[in-house]
Structure formats: structure tokens, C-alpha cells
A and B are shown apart, each in its own frame.
Chain A
Amino acid sequence: MSSVTPDYMMIGCMAAIVILGTIIRPVMTGYLSILLVGVFTIVYWRTRSWPDRIFYLVCSGTLLVAVCAAAVVWEGLIIAWLVAGVIATVMKVTLTAKDLPALLAACSVTAIISLMIDRANHVLLPLAILCGIAASVFAVMSIRAYRFRKQYAGDSV
């Protein structure tokens, strides 16, 4: 019995988007994108029993997203979502109604970042903003973690 699982469905979507992009914009990087979808599929298939499989998938996905985003940022974003979906499947993450707000928030944040990068003329400003936001998030999380540990661990923090 053969059935199309979500991971292969997403890889199929990835290939379709890349091929469609290549048809619309016949440039050399389009062919490279198609090749990298193949590489991603091979990595996905070959690393099934490997430890740290996610790392290999992210590495192969990174190249694919970078090449796609070089043509159109939004195409790169969609490919990145699909790569994330495949990785979520690997992690056996099943989405429920409770996870929907988190999913929407993640999609929104990544879309805003893409928009910011798309609009910026140079890398420096978005890079600085990203680093600043990341540092702020980590600082807030650290303070929250400290207060939480203080509550449960007392003086041993």
C-alpha cells in the first residue's frame, strides 16, 4: 500500500514551486534550485537513520533557500516554510488547534523579516535590527528564567 505522506507532499510542493519559478524566470540559478531540491530529497532519504538528522536537513535546506531567495525573497520564504514543515515532520510534530496561534505568529514574524530584507537596500540595517531583537529576546528570557528558577530553586540559583 502506498500513501503520500505530508513530508513527501511538501517536498513535491517545493519542487513544483522551484520549477514554476524557473519557467517564469529562466535564469541559471533556477536550474541550480532544481538541483538543490534533488540534493535536499536525497539528504532527506539517506539520513533517515542518522543521528542529528535535523542538522543535515537544515544545511541542505539552507543552500536551497539561499539560491531561491537570490532570485525572489518571497520564493525563498515559501521554500523555507516548506523546509521547516519537512523538519517538523521529521521531529514528529503534530499540529493541533492549540498550536495554530504559534504557527501564525511564526509565519507572520518570518514574513515581516522577509519584507524588511526585501525593502532594505543593504544588509547592515536589517542585520543590526535582527541582532538587536534577538539580543533583547534573550535578555528578557534570561530574566524570566532567573525569576522562575528563583521561585523553585530558592537560594541555589
Chain B
Amino acid sequence: MRLIRCTRGLALLALLLFSWAFVFDDPSVLLVGALLLCGLVGAYIYFDLKFRGVVASVRVERSLERTQVRKGATLQAVTNVTVDVPRGMKITIRENLPPNIAVQDGITSFTAGPAATPVVQKMIYRITPVVHGECHFPGIILSVRDLFFETDITLSARQFCGPTLIIQPTGLFESGSRRFVTETREIEKMAVLSGFGIRSLREYYAGDDLRKIDWKQTAKYNKIFVREYTGMTYLPPLVIIDLPWRGDAFSENDFNRMVATVAGLAEHSIKTYQYVSVLLISGPNIISFSAEEKDLERCMTLLRRWMHPVERTTHLYRMPDRSDLRTKIRVIDRILTDDQVSPNARFLTILRRNYQASLQEQQVLTFTAQVIRTISQITVDEIYIFTLGCGDTSHIRQVVRQARSMKIHVHARLPNGKDPGWWGSRTGNLGADTLEAFA
């Protein structure tokens, strides 16, 4: 229990009065001090009784979207709290969240004043587990305050805690050295682009192209049938949004502009191509993927829900790819060939050996594999990557490289005025086909 500032002053006044009475043997001052002390004790007893009533009235119901997730996945939690708030008191209830999860957004606390009927409040928030294992929700923290006192209590009895969330671990690297290449996507793409797909069959009308006659069906039904081929259509782009980490220093204006640009592109894509695919990442973490979304409202809901800085479970820092390492080795080889007697030759030899060792041990990142699997699900021939360019960009390089290997055009979009040098690549635009500002 803590004393409010006013109560601290009163307690000090009572102490001064007692001291005065003791030193000067003054019963009138003693009476004042005693009455003040009585008042404070009475207020404390009154507060304690009310506090017990508040605690006894608390009811908590917590539910999770799922009870078993992989580390880094985001899920929604809903907590319904019912509490009686007596006259003259103010309460604050906070979720006492376990340390191994990060709150992405939503409401995790509320304050309520006195009310005649029990206060019912729903707290909806999204969490991301950052450490694997079992995660038990330990209850809530209740703060009660009146004019004289305030106190906190962690309500962790059985009726306030739970459920338990099981968090499965995820690896940073994929097992084995298998390279992820898919060909089915190419075949499907060729079929669509060449217009070989048959939409329907119908009877022949005079003037129809004779080359379209389906002779097999004609022979079967003894009527002339012609094929109606699917039309040629452009493919909508895949929109990849690299959400900033919460710890990144980024411009709020840039972020808002990025949101607006992404929303505009998604709307344009749905209106023009009937659907859009959106992949949200944050560093080397896949946040959400919406494949071939046809409903504009649902697409906007998705963007509204996810487009904000997020907590990252995995970070990369200057993560080289196999081709990066090979390039570095080639450069060292060229230098060593040109100048064998250089004083730096020994250093470069050691460096080359280290690169060679790294190359042999290099494994495919889980993130890379996830990106390949995600892109392979859809038919796409161009990708727009939106990023604020905060912090390390190894993950962007991974995405661009894999997309290029699938012969998909990549267009990078970054804030206006951003120095392209931040890419950390000699090519300036990280190998993307185009690099433009989204402002």
C-alpha cells in the first residue's frame, strides 16, 4: 500500500503534532494529532475493506486464437474482465503478460471509475511468442486508488490465469542443403500466358474459326464443337511489405506514406486484375500472407490490421548468401593472382579460407525457404517490395535474389530522399529491376 501525496502530508502533520505535544506537554495539540491519526487509520481501514470488495468481484475470462503456435507467429488474445468499482475509487487493470511474448498491438489495460453496475471490459490484443516453450498467462495486475491510498495486487490465483500457450521452436536454417526450386509455377504461368487453356466448348456457328473445332468432341456427339480459349491476361503483382521493427528509428511520415502507397497499389491491383497477393514481412520473419485476395474490403482490413511496426523474433545482420561468399572469394582470388607479394596477401589468404569454410557450412535460411514456398504458391511475374530501409537489409537481399532466380521482376520502393547506399550493396539497388521512391 502506498500513500497518496495528500496522505503523506497529513501523516507528516500528525507526526509533527505528536512531537509538539510530547515536547511541550500540550494536551490540546495531542488531541488534534490523535484525531488526525484516527482519521488516517479509519481511512486505511475503509480503503482496505473496499479494496477487498473490488478484488473479490473480479472475474477474468481469457481466450486465445490458438493454443499451439510456432515461435514468431502472431495470434490474438481476448480477455473479458468484470469488476465492481465502489464509490470514491478508481481502478486500473493490466494484463500481467509472461516475459516470453511480445505485444504487437491492442489494449492490455484499462481504467474504470465508480459505477453502479459491474464494469465489463474486453481487452483485445495480439501477441507474438519470442521464446519457445510453454507460456502460461499469469493473471492480471489490479491497481486500486482512492483519495488517500493506492495499492497494487497481482491476481494470479487459478481463476485469473491461463490458458497455457504452447510455443513450438523454429529454426533459423533449413535442414539439409536442398535448394528450393519449383517448376510447376513456370508451367502454370506458361499455360496462362500462352492462352492454351480451354474455357468452354460450344456448338459451331457460321463464321467461327475452323482451327478452333474440337474434332474429338465433334466425332463423339456428331455435332461440330468449337473450343473457347481462355483470354490472355496480365498477372497482378505480389506486394511485399517489409514492416519496420519497433526498435528502429524511422520517420512516421515515411511510414504513413508507405501505408498509403501500398493501399493504393492493392486497390489498383484488385480493380485492374481482380485480385492481389500481399506478403507482410518484418526482417526475416513472415508476418502474414494473403494469396490472391479478391475482396477489396478484406484486403484493406488486412492492411489496417498489420501495417504497423512489429516486434521481431529473428534478426539478421549482414547475412551473406552463398553467391555473396563466392563473389568475395573470386575478388580475393583476383587480387592474390595480381599481387602475390603484397603484405596483405597473408591476410587475404586467411580471409579466403574463412569465406571458404563459411561457404561449406552455409545453409538455407528458414526465411528464404518460406519466401520461396510463399511465392511458389501464386502465379506472379513481378514483385513490389516496400521497405523503409531501417537497419539491416539482408532479408531484402534474400527476397530479391530468390525472386530474380524465379525470373520475377522486382521493383523496390523506399522513402523519398533515402540514400540508396543504405542497401549495403555495390549495385546500389540490391539487384532489383527498378528502385523508386514511394512518396
- Chain A residues at the B interface, C-beta cutoff of 8 Å: 52, 54-55, 58-59, 62, 65-67, 69-70, 73, 76-77, 80, 84, 91-93, 102, 106, 109-110, 113-114, 117-118, 120, 122-124, 126-127, 130-131, 134, 137-138, 141, 144-145, 148-149, 151-156
Distance from B277 Cβ to chain A, minimum over Cβ atoms (Å): 47
CA distance A151 to B55 in the complex (A): 11
Q: State the main secondary structure of chain B at its contact with A.
A: helix
The reply to whether A153 and B157 contact each other, CB–CB distance below 8 Å, is: yes
The reply to whether A153 and B156 contact each other, CB–CB distance below 8 Å, is: yes
Q: A153-B153, A154-B156 are in contact. Are A117 and B34 (CB under 8 A)?
A: yes
Q: Which of B25, B30, B38 contacts A109 (CB 8 A)?
A: B38
The reply to whether B35 and A65 contact each other, CB–CB distance below 8 Å, is: yes
Q: Which of A58, A123, A137, A138 contacts B26 (CB 8 A)?
A: A123
CA distance A124 to B25 in the complex (A): 8
Say if the beta carbon of B10 comes within 8 Å of chain A.
yes
Distance from B162 Cβ to chain A, minimum over Cβ atoms (Å): 13
The reply to whether B6 and A66 contact each other, CB–CB distance below 8 Å, is: no
Say if the beta carbon of B201 comes within 8 Å of chain A.
no
Say if the beta carbon of B21 comes within 8 Å of chain A.
yes
The reply to whether B156 and A156 contact each other, CB–CB distance below 8 Å, is: yes
Q: Which 5 A/B pairs are nearest by Cβ-Cβ distance? A: A69-B28, A70-B28, A52-B6, A55-B6, A156-B154
Chain B residues contacting A127 (CB-CB under 8 Å) are 18, 21-22, 30
Which among B44-52, B248-256, B298-306 touches the partner chain?
B44-52
Chain A residues contacting B378 (CB-CB under 8 Å) are none
A-B contact pairs, 15 of them (CB 8 A): A52-B5, A52-B6, A58-B36, A66-B17, A70-B26, A80-B32, A91-B88, A117-B34, A126-B30, A131-B18, A137-B41, A138-B41, A141-B44, A144-B48, A156-B138
Sorting the interface of chain B by its residue count into under 10, 10 to 19, 20 to 34 or 35 or more gives: 35 or more
The reply to whether B32 and A84 contact each other, CB–CB distance below 8 Å, is: no
Within 8 A of A (CB), among B383-401: none
The reply to whether A122 and B29 contact each other, CB–CB distance below 8 Å, is: no
Say if the beta carbon of B155 comes within 8 Å of chain A.
yes
The reply to whether B157 and A58 contact each other, CB–CB distance below 8 Å, is: no
The reply to whether A110 and B88 contact each other, CB–CB distance below 8 Å, is: no
The reply to whether A152 and B6 contact each other, CB–CB distance below 8 Å, is: no
Say if the beta carbon of B169 comes within 8 Å of chain A.
no
Chain B residues contacting A151 (CB-CB under 8 Å) are 157
Chain A residues contacting B32 (CB-CB under 8 Å) are 62, 65-66, 69, 76, 80
Say if the beta carbon of B147 comes within 8 Å of chain A.
yes
- Chain B residues at the A interface, C-beta cutoff of 8 Å: 1, 5-6, 9-10, 13, 17-18, 21-22, 25-32, 34-39, 41-42, 44-46, 48, 52, 55, 88, 138, 147, 153-157, 160
CA distance A91 to B10 in the complex (A): 16
When C-beta atoms are compared, the residue in chain A nearest to B142 turns out to be A152
The reply to whether B39 and A141 contact each other, CB–CB distance below 8 Å, is: no
Q: Which of B22, B29, B38, B55 contacts A106 (CB 8 A)?
A: B38
When C-beta atoms are compared, the residue in chain B nearest to A145 turns out to be B48
Q: A141-B44, A145-B48, A149-B153 are in contact. Are A76 and B38 (CB under 8 A)?
A: no
The reply to whether A145 and B1 contact each other, CB–CB distance below 8 Å, is: yes
Chain A residues contacting B52 (CB-CB under 8 Å) are 148
Q: Which of B10, B21, B41, B45 contacts A58 (CB 8 A)?
A: B10
CA distance A155 to B6 in the complex (A): 32
Chain A residues contacting B17 (CB-CB under 8 Å) are 62, 66
Chain A residues contacting B36 (CB-CB under 8 Å) are 58, 62
CA distance A82 to B360 in the complex (A): 88
CA distance A69 to B29 in the complex (A): 8
Chain B residues contacting A69 (CB-CB under 8 Å) are 27-28, 31-32
Q: Which of A55, A106, A114 contacts B42 (CB 8 A)?
A: A106
The reply to whether B13 and A62 contact each other, CB–CB distance below 8 Å, is: yes
Q: A66-B29, A126-B30 are in contact. Are A134 and B157 (CB under 8 A)?
A: no
The reply to whether B30 and A58 contact each other, CB–CB distance below 8 Å, is: no
Q: A69-B31, A141-B45 are in contact. Are A52 and B18 (CB under 8 A)?
A: no
CA distance A91 to B18 in the complex (A): 26
Chain A residues contacting B9 (CB-CB under 8 Å) are 52, 55
Distance from A153 Cβ to chain B, minimum over Cβ atoms (Å): 5
Chain B residues contacting A58 (CB-CB under 8 Å) are 10, 13, 36
Chain A residues contacting B26 (CB-CB under 8 Å) are 70, 123
When C-beta atoms are compared, the residue in chain A nearest to B10 turns out to be A58
